[in-house]
Amino acid sequence: MLFVGVGGQGVLKASDVLARAAFLAGLAVKKSEIHGMSQRGGGVTSTVRFGETIHSPLAPSKSIDFLMALDRVEGEKYIAELAEGGKALFIDDDLVRKLEDPRVANIALLGRLSTELDIAEDIWDKAIAMEMAPKFVAMNIQAFKTGRRQR
Amino acid sequence: MATSLSASLPLARAGLQSACGSMSGAFPSALGLRAFGAPHRYCAPVPKPYDFRRRNGLLRPRQRQTFLHTHFTGSDVTENRVRELISGDEAIARGAFEAGISVATGYPGTPSTEIIETIHASYPSIYAQWSPNEKAALEVALGAAMGGARALVTMKHVGLNVAADPLFTAAYTGVQGALVVVTADDPQLHSSQNEQDNRWYARAAKIAMLEPSDSQEAKDFVLKAVEMSERFDTPVLLRITTRIAHSEGIVEFGEPSTARPAAAFKPRRDKYVMIPAYARKRHKVVEERLSAIQAFGETSELNRIERGSADLGIIASGVVYEYAREASPEASMLKLGLTYPLPAALIRKFVSSVKRCVVVEELDDILTTEIRATGLEVEGKAPAFRLGEFNVDRVRAIVNGSDREPETLTVAARPPALCAGCPHRAAFTVLKKCKAIVTGDIGCYTLSVLPPLEVMESCVCMGASIGMAFGLRKALPPDEARRVVGVIGDSTFFHSGVTGLMDAVYNGATGVVMILDNRTTAMTGRQGHPGTGEALTGNGKAVSIEELCAGLGVANVAVIDPIDVKSLEAEVRAAMKRDGVNVVVARRPCILLERPKHRRRARVTAEKCKVCGLCVATGCRAIVKGEKSVSVEPAVCMACGLCVNICPTGAIAIEE
């Protein structure tokens, strides 16, 4: 999975939750990100790879199964990296309207992704609880379920 | 000029107060310091002096670290096995804890910064500190190791250049306890001024080097390094790269060491006092030690052969091993974890066992050259591949013998910019107006080289700005020399700017230095430094920049809030005309230090705006140029007040 966006959209946080969920599910996980420029308006990307065994933390060219685009402009740049049959998920206004706060759109998108993966919902809940500050957990779990239910 | 430092000095505390009038009278004129008179139109209130006690160890940006390590209940705890998903840096911190490291030092430097941060946040039993620079950090660690402790020092690749002096002779002295020197290299220059290959340091300093391939090894190799350091009486280099430091992988935790250092100091003057007579003998020891470590490497599990096809063998180390494993799953692999001294016999055995052997290494062709020097025939990489970091595609191309880059996506990166509200924007806007020729330095302020400011002419290494300013002046004709300004940040100044300033005063030079004091080491994540007194130890003391300058004998020191652009411009112009060394301290806290509680924003009164573009030219991301008027993006604006002060028609005001 490749998460892309601009600083402040929760790109890294969303990838943290996914990596945590895959780890809790007992899979091998490697995650790679370039951060540091996010505060200064730069693009942010994070790659999460999971499966039986993972060697490279970076995804080879054209091997992305799911592109999670939290920003449309950034997302368009990476479409070419999708593998055969890979999917790009963008945040749409429909989804954002259903949310309590637009800032949890990243987790809602994760919810949408979760329908494509074979990870149990209670593992997702646990992953969110582990990666978020306690006062934000409920709101994020809500956002996740909203995204998961949306088709 | 008499510099009586016994005069009462509220300067250090006054420093954080706004320059708008409240400092007048706070500067004893005996020190040649001046205050500035009537406040100008607007000066954004400066946040109260930063409360570092609240921050230490408890509010790291990635709060997860503290949560998981200190309040650890275990993400995955089965049969006493604890596993976690952590970065290479975090893994090294955990490794330090398990290895019984008791002293950890360093200077912030991407991608190594998080090692000391995690040690401090999560393992309070380890004494951790930031030093003003890497040389000082290594010396503190070396002293601890000489006293029998297990010590660790961290830095980025260029940091080792600064620490090289003690490093080279530490190979001669050896240690009583253990000393691990972590160097975090940056192939691809994600955030560095060069992509030097620090594997050369192992050879030049004659110090063993370990290179982990992922987070698990990053942790395990700290224990290995301590073991080797104690066994062979040597410092040990632990080299990682950005992809290992900042990538996360699964790590199985072990039990922490219960070893304790020796109770008393053991004098060994022939070992630690390197006068020529003693040092000559130690050089012999260094050479013999290298042979012993090489023999150790031949059979150590740090180096291993993974049997695969007899047609193709690959030799790799570090994260490149992982790329190679994925690029050529069927190949035989010699994975090197101890990369200096090389296990010559093991390499010979491996190369002879395959038809074709390719050495895959990032940056310089060190392994390739050394292996060929033993008479073995191996393939290396085309010159194009000496640049930048690797990935699976590039490694595949190298293994296929290609001399050209593989076809991969290149994404136009959104360039970084100074944050909205950054005080540096104000300082550089003024310098540009004064037509200053700026020799710059390393930090967030280096971004002033980018459009639209484009007002920095050089940036070479930490502290270079000051020396280069005075050197440049000696080459230029007088009217241009006058306009040269050396610009340096506060942390950078304490790191290695002081000697450059001292040089100028001592040698009777004339010139202008601007110290951008934003009260933090910003670019690496807002760590403390001697200028703020914010220390991980919790009982740090602040060094006053202006008192230090006065002590050095600097003729004129002025302290100004850069948002007060009128005063700053007046002082810069005056300083450019004055003889002697002139220091202008542009002091205003980094906008990210404290989240503002107010909801103030700048707003443009469209009717008054002449679209002159002066505010737009500052490069602030909150300012948008329209046809009839400029406007301010409320979501981005931090109400610093720069545009208010820059505007010639008074069209902008701060509102709630």
**Would you kindly state where each structural domain of chain A is located, as residue ranges?**
2-149
User: Can you tell me which residue has the tokens 């002081």?
Assistant: B498
Q: Is A78 on the interface with B (CB under 8 A)?
A: yes
Would you state the CATH architecture of domain A2-149? 3-Layer(aba) Sandwich (3.40)
Interface test with A, best of B65, B89, B247 (most A CBs within 10 A): B247
B250, B414, B416 member nearest A28 (Cβ): B250
Query: How many residues are present in chain B?
Result: 656
Instruction: Report whether pLDDT(B41) > 60.
Output: no
Return the SS3 of B209: strand
Task: Say how many C-beta atoms besides its own lie within 10 A of residue B595's C-beta.
Answer: 7
- Whole-angstrom distance, CA of residue A18 vs CA of residue A91: 17
State ipTM: 0.92
Euclidean distance between CA atoms A97 and A106, whole angstroms = 13
Q: Which among A54, A60, A78 has the least Cβ separation from residue B411?
A: A78
Chain A CB contacts of B333 under 8 Å are none
The pLDDT of residue B53 is 35
Q: Does A85 touch chain B (CB under 8 A)?
A: no
- Quick one: pLDDT at residue B81? 74
Q: Is the pLDDT of residue B476 over 70?
A: yes
pLDDT of B25 strictly over 50 = no
Q: How confident is the model at residue B264 (pLDDT cuts 50, 70, 90)?
A: confident
Contact B123, B91 (CB under 8 A): no
How many Cβ pairs closer than 8 A exist between chain A and B?
111
Q: Torsion over CA of A128, A134, A138 and A139, rounded to 10 degrees?
A: -90
pLDDT, tens digit, for every residue of B172-205?
Answer: 999 999 999 999 999 999 899 999 999 999 999 9
As given in the structure block, the two tokens for residue B177 are 């306890």
Query: Could you count the other beta carbons within 10 Å of the beta carbon of residue B309?
Result: 14
Mean pLDDT of all residues in A30-58: 83
Indicate the domain borders of chain B.
11-46+416-587, 69-254+267-298, 304-399, 601-655
* Average pLDDT along chain B: 89
Instruction: Report helix, strand or coil for A131.
Output: helix
Which residues of chain B have a CB within 8 Å of the CB of A20?
Answer: 75, 85
Which of these ranges, A112-121, B5-14, B350-359, has the smallest mean pLDDT?
Answer: B5-14
Q: How confident is the model at residue B18 (pLDDT cuts 50, 70, 90)?
A: very low
**Contact criterion met (CB < 8 Å) for B75 and A43:** no
Confidence label for A92 from pLDDT (cuts 50, 70 and 90): confident
- For domain B11-46+416-587, the question of CATH label 3.40.50.970 is answered with yes
Determine, for residues A30 and B412 on separate chains, whether the beta-carbon distance falls below 8 Å.
no
Which CATH number describes the domain made up of B69-254+267-298? 3.40.50.970
B486-520 residue pLDDT tens: 999 999 999 999 999 999 999 999 999 999 999 99
Query: What is the Cα–Cα distance from B466 to B511, expressed in whole angstroms?
Result: 10
Long-range contacts: B66-72, Cβ < 8 Å, 24+?
A: B66/B121, B66/B122, B67/A130, B68/A130, B69/B94, B69/B118, B69/B121, B69/B122, B69/B123, B70/B121, B70/B122, B70/B124
Hey, how many other C-beta atoms are within 10 angstroms of the C-beta on B525? 18
**How much of chain A is in helix, strand and coil states, percent to nearest 5?**
50, 25, 30
Contact A40 B444 (CB under 8 A): yes
First to last CA, chain A: 20
DSSP, residue by residue, B530-552: TTTT--TTS------HHHHHHHH
Report yes or no: A31 and B247 within 8 Å, Cβ to Cβ. yes
Q: Is pLDDT of B261 > 90?
A: no
Q: Which of A23, A36, A131 sits opposite B110 (nearest CB)?
A: A36
Question: Within an 8 Å CB–CB cutoff, is residue A137 touching chain B?
Answer: no
Query: Tens of pLDDT along B125-154?
Result: 999 999 999 999 999 999 999 999 999 999
Cβ atoms < 10 Å from Cβ of B377? 9
What is the pLDDT at residue B486?
98
Q: Tell me the average pLDDT across B77-82.
A: 61
Least confident of A42-46, B252-256, B352-356, B386-390: A42-46
**Model confidence at B6: pLDDT above 90:** no
Select from B64, B393, B413 the Cβ nearest to the Cβ of A60.
B393
Task: State the pLDDT at residue B61.
Answer: 37
**pLDDT for the residue numbered A35:** 63
B91 three-state secondary structure: helix
Instruction: Find residue B317's DSSP bridge partners.
Output: B336
Whether the per-residue pLDDT at B26 is higher than 60: the answer is no
The residues pairing with B516 across neighbouring beta strands, listed in sequence order, are: B489, B586
Spatial distance between the Cα atoms of B216 and B220, rounded to a whole number of angstroms: 6
Task: Give the nearest chain A residue to B59 (CA atoms).
Answer: A133
pLDDT band at B42 (very low <50, low <70, confident <90, very high): low
By the 8 A CB rule, do B36 and B22 touch? Answer: no
Q: Do A58 and B64 touch (CB under 8 A)?
A: no
Distance (Å, rounded) from C-alpha B477 to C-alpha A135?
A: 63
Contact between B243 and A39 using a beta-carbon 8 Å cutoff: no
Where helices occur in B72-156 by DSSP H, the ranges are 88-99, 113-122, 134-146
Amino acid at B430: V
Is the model's pLDDT at B444 over the cut of 60?
yes
The DSSP result for B265-310, as a single string, is ----HHHH---HHHHHHHHHHHHHHHHHHHHHHHH-TTSEEE--EE
pLDDT tops 60 at residue B330: yes
- Mutation target for B interface from A13, A40, A73: give the one with most B CBs within 10 A: A40
Nearest CA in chain B to A57: B247
A57 touches chain B (CB under 8 A): yes
pLDDT value of position B417: 85
Q: What is the pLDDT of residue B290?
A: 98
Of B75, B407, B523, the CB nearest to A130: B75
Contact partners, residue B50, CB within 8 Å, separation at least 6: B16, B519, B520, B532, B534, B589, B593, B594
B346-402 pLDDT, tens per residue? 999 999 999 999 999 999 999 999 999 999 999 999 999 999 999 999 999 999 999
Amino acid at B444: C
B396 vs A contacts (CB less than 8 Å):
60
- B148-164 pLDDT, tens per residue? 999 999 999 999 999 99
Residue B114 has pLDDT above 70, yes or no: yes
Q: What is the pLDDT of residue B272?
A: 98
Given pLDDT bands bounded at 50, 70 and 90, which one contains residue A39? low
Based on C-alpha coordinates, what's the Rg of chain A? 14
What is the mean pLDDT of the segment spanning A17-32? 96
As a whole number of angstroms, the distance between CA B642 and CA B511 comes to 27
Query: What is the structure's pLDDT at B408?
Result: 81
* b/e burial code for range B467-486 (CB count within 10 A of at least 16 → b): bbbbbbbeeeeeeebbbbbb
* Listed range (B46-60, B290-304, B397-411) with the worst mean pLDDT: B46-60
Q: Provide the pLDDT for residue B20.
A: 35
CB contact under 8 A, A56 and B392: yes
According to the model, what pLDDT value does residue B59 have?
32
What pLDDT is stored for residue B594 in this prediction? Answer: 83
Other Cβ atoms within 10 Å of B224 Cβ, number: 22
Please give the single-letter amino acid code of residue B592: L
Q: Which residues pair with B249 in a beta bridge?
A: A30, B86
Q: Give domain B601-655's CATH architecture.
A: 2-Layer Sandwich (3.30)
A79/B contact by beta carbon, under 8 A: no
Q: B326, A24: Cβ pair inside 8 Å? A: no
pLDDT number for residue B33: 39
Q: Tell me, what's the pLDDT at A41?
A: 62
The reported pLDDT for the residue numbered A37 is 56
Q: Which residues in chain B are contacts of A42 at CB distance < 8 A?
A: 413-416
Tokens, residue B558: 């002025």
Whether B10 has a pLDDT exceeding 50, the answer reads: no
Per residue in A98-111, pLDDT (tens digit) is: 888 888 999 999 99
Of B580 and A33, which is predicted with more confidence? Answer: B580
B304-399: CATH topology: Rossmann fold (3.40.50)
Distance from CA of A95 to the nearest CA of B (A): 22
